[in-house]
């Protein structure tokens, strides 16, 4: 059976739906005994890895409780565990985990340096697959027609590599979306929606790192299909899609008319579809996904963080009534929360996956920081996430901040609030979440549309205080008075969100914010410029704090290479 036929095989599809909905049901049922599951997860990872070098060094065999665990093991970040991981990647066994990693996930992290996240079979079985399948349940349950055909879903993150790079020990070192989970971990149902479409594996040759051309080729094929759902996880990838349709429109229409793909003959010429697309563009004066795919039903990506600013405008591009379903709150290192219903942003803690600890997001993380359990979290507050799981990550601070939305069955439901990275020039201690919420407040107060934003601390002139300069992309033009009012509202809103910023402003250590308004496509051009350097699209995410001078000039249009400009 051909791979594409697997997605339409009735028996396979029935098994897939049963697995997805069954894992969702199991995770929901686990909430009734969340504390018991958390104790069992900790006991299991300690027993399983007690005889590893790390386990012996930290007396895993003598630990009987979370309090014991806190005393024996410091809070770690990737830097703390990197020496162990590098030894594993070089071929040593029994260091962090009892079973050797089968693959290493790559993650760009806060600094952009590529991490090696060890992924063991035990981690995949115990921690990863239950949440991974359950994550698709809202889509499968409420929009079943997206599975009617292999090409009903445009999966932007699917990017298989036939010859992936490897560690010294020969294990693949790739993005999570580049791993064939079925072959690598014996999970034949694990292929995501859209991976069996004609563009899942590109039928024409393309350079491995030419990610823009790959994106174009997939879009060229998808434009001839009746796409019902777009999967991106990283919202910046989905936000780029309407821009790409317009950017590549003449080439797309010509290739559809001629029956070519990347200039190579492919399939039959389709002048009827090309003519229809041209009529749509002429009639509307622009090209939107809603025009190309009128039966679009759902988008699947992180709906919080910076995406919360442009979510509603983005949904409009894809058509009236299109749902935006939240991707799981997770990182390459492991899951935190997964949506078990149709909530627009939050997911319940995956209590069977990791032993979770938390730290107030306003606190600094140190190896001996006092942590909170899930029962001590308060709705409406932000927390650093620290987790431990069977795969060899212990008291690991992943660098993400979550916001507790509410509780379901007594268990916190969380949404992604941003990275834990701070901008702290003069003690203002600003986090992503502070500024994103302030941007939303300023937009609401002024009635102005914000598509995306970034900021930096200006160089301090002699004898003057620095200030935050914001680059803000908007669809419509703002008057000078509107821009000034937005800046004033933003400055005040940041002070409400961050007490240390308010103090710094009152003390004269910071001057008021300044706002540079960019045209609506500025961040999309910048996203394309980043991808053009060879970075995989999944790793080019919305970044709020941008202190690098060259990258700031590229974004704001003063770099002539960028082709941008100030509106």
Q: Is a pLDDT exceeding 70 seen at residue 6?
A: no
Q: Contact, 431 vs 544, CB < 8 A?
A: no
Q: Contact, 55 vs 84, CB < 8 A?
A: no
**Which residues does residue 468 pair with via DSSP β-bridges, in sequence order?**
457
Written as one string, the DSSP assignment of 414-479 is EEEEEES-EE-SSS--EEHHHHHHHHHHHHHHHT----EEEEEEPP--TTS---EEEEEE-SS---
Q: What pLDDT score does 299 carry? A: 97
Identify which of 391, 387, 330 has the alpha carbon closest to the alpha carbon of residue 103: 391
The token duo for 462 is: 């002699």
Task: Extract the runs of DSSP E, i.e. beta strands, from 139-218.
Answer: 153-155, 173-174
For residues 186 and 128, give the distance between their C-alpha atoms in angstroms, rounded to a whole number. Answer: 13
Determine the average pLDDT of the residues in 428-438.
Answer: 97
pTM of the model: 0.94
Q: Contact, 89 vs 167, CB < 8 A?
A: yes
Q: What pLDDT score does 113 carry? A: 56
Q: What pLDDT score does 3 carry? A: 52
Q: What pLDDT score does 20 carry? A: 97
Strand order of the sheet with strand 393-408?
329-331, 334-338, 347-349, 411-419, 393-408, 382-389, 355-360
Q: What pLDDT score does 549 carry? A: 93
Q: What pLDDT score does 177 carry? A: 81
Determine the average pLDDT of the residues in 262-268.
Answer: 94
Q: Contact, 148 vs 17, CB < 8 A?
A: no
Written as one string, the DSSP assignment of 69-119 is HHHHS--B-HHHHHHHHHHHHTT--SSSSSS--SEEEEE-TTTSPPEEEEE
pLDDT band at 562 (very low <50, low <70, confident <90, very high): very low
Within 31-77, where are the H helices?
34-48, 53-57, 66-72
Range with lowest mean pLDDT among 65-79, 130-144, 153-167:
153-167
Alpha carbon distance, N-terminus to C-terminus of the chain: 54
HEC profile of 506-558? HCCCCCCCEEEEECCCHHHHHHHHHHHCCCCHHHCCCCCECCCHHHHHHHHCC
Q: What pLDDT score does 560 carry? A: 36
Q: Is a pLDDT exceeding 60 seen at residue 295?
A: yes
Q: Cα-flanking dihedrals φ and ψ of residue 185, to 5°? A: -125, 15
SS3 153: strand
Q: What pLDDT score does 567 carry? A: 34
Query: What percent of the chain shows pLDDT beyond 70?
Result: 96
Identify which of 343, 347, 341 has the alpha carbon closest to the alpha carbon of residue 402: 347
Q: How far is CA 108 from CA 389, 400, 551, in A?
A: 21, 13, 17
Range with lowest mean pLDDT among 19-28, 130-139, 173-182:
173-182
DSSP label at residue 139: H
Tokens 């102005």 belong to 448
SS3 200: coil
Identify which of 151, 267, 264 has the alpha carbon closest to the alpha carbon of residue 201: 151
Q: Cα 65 from chain centroid?
A: 33
pLDDT by residue (tens digit) across 442-478? 999 999 999 999 999 997 777 789 999 999 999 889 9
Q: Is a pLDDT exceeding 60 seen at residue 565?
A: no
pLDDT by residue (tens digit) across 221-262? 999 999 999 999 999 999 999 999 999 999 999 999 999 999
pLDDT band at 497 (very low <50, low <70, confident <90, very high): very high
The token duo for 30 is: 């686990």
pLDDT by residue (tens digit) across 14-26? 999 999 999 999 9
Determine the average pLDDT of the residues in 411-438.
Answer: 96
Q: What pLDDT score does 463 carry? A: 73
Q: Is a pLDDT exceeding 80 seen at residue 304?
A: yes
pLDDT by residue (tens digit) across 91-129? 999 999 999 999 999 875 444 457 999 999 999 999 999
Q: Contact, 402 vs 413, CB < 8 A?
A: no
Mean pLDDT of the chain: 93
Q: What pLDDT score does 185 carry? A: 92
For residues 544 and 305, give the distance between their C-alpha atoms in angstroms, rounded to a whole number. Answer: 10
């Amino acid at each position: 059976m051909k791979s594409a036929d697997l997605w339409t095989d009735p028996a396979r599809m029935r098994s897939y739906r049963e697995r997805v909905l069954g894992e969702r049901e199991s995770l929901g049922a686990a909430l009734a005994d969340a504390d018991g599951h958390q104790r069992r997860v900790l006991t299991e990872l300690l027993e399983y890895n007690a005889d590893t070098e790390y386990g012996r060094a930290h007396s895993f065999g003598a630990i009987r409780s979370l309090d014991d665990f806190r005393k024996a093991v410091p809070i770690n970040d990737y830097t703390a565990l990197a020496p162990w991981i590098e030894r594993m990647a070089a071929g040593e066994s029994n260091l962090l985990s009892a079973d050797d990693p089968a693959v290493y996930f790559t993650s760009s992290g806060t600094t952009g340096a590529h991490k090696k996240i060890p992924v063991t079979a035990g981690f995949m079985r115990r921690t990863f697959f239950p949440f991974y399948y359950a994550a698709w349940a809202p889509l499968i349950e409420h929009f079943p027609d997206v599975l009617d055909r292999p090409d009903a879903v445009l999966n932007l993150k699917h990017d298989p590599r036939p010859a992936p790079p490897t560690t010294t020990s020969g294990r693949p070192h790739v993005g999570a979306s580049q791993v064939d989970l079925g072959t690598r971990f014996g999970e034949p149902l694990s292929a995501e929606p859209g991976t069996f479409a004609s563009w899942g594996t590109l039928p024409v040759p393309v350079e491995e790192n030419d990610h823009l051309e790959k994106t174009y080729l997939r879009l060229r094929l998808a434009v001839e299909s009746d796409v019902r759902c777009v999967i991106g996880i990283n919202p910046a990838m989905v936000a780029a899609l309407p821009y790409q349709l317009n950017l590549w429109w003449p080439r797309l229409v010509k290739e559809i008319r001629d029956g070519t793909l990347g200039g190579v003959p492919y399939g039959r010429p389709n002048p009827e579809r090309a003519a229809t697309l041209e009529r749509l563009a002429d009639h509307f004066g622009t090209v939107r996904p809603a025009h190309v795919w009128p039966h679009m039903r759902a988008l699947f990506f992180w709906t919080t963080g910076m995406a919360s600013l442009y979510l509603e405008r983005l949904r409009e591009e894809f058509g009236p009534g299109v749902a935006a379903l939240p991707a799981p709150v997770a990182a390459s290192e492991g899951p935190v929360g997964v949506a078990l219903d149709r909530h627009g942003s939050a997911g319940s803690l995956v209590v069977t996956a990791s032993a979770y600890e938390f730290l107030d997001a306003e606190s600094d993380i140190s190896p001996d920081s006092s942590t909170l359990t899930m029962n001590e979290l308060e709705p409406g507050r932000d927390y650093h996430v620290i987790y431990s799981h069977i795969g060899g990550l212990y008291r690991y601070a992943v660098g993400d901040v979550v916001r507790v939305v509410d509780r379901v069955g007594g268990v916190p439901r969380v949404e992604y609030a941003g990275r834990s990275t701070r901008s702290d020039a003069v003690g203002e201690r600003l986090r992503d979440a502070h500024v994103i919420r302030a941007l939303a407040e300023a937009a609401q107060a002024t009635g102005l549309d914000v598509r995306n934003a970034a900021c930096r601390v200006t160089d301090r002139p002699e004898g003057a205080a620095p200030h935050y300069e914001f680059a803000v992309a908007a669809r419509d033009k703002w008057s000078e008075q509107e821009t000034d009012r937005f800046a004033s509202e933003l400055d005040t809103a940041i002070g409400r969100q961050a007490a240390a910023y308010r103090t710094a402003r009152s003390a004269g250590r910071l001057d008021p914010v300044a706002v540079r308004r960019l045209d609506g496509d500025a961040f999309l051009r910048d996203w394309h410029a980043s991808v053009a350097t060879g970075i995989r699209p999944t790793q080019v995410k919305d970044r709020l704090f941008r202190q690098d001078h060259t990258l700031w000039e590229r974004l704001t249009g003063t770099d002539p290479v960028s082709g941008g400009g100030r509106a």
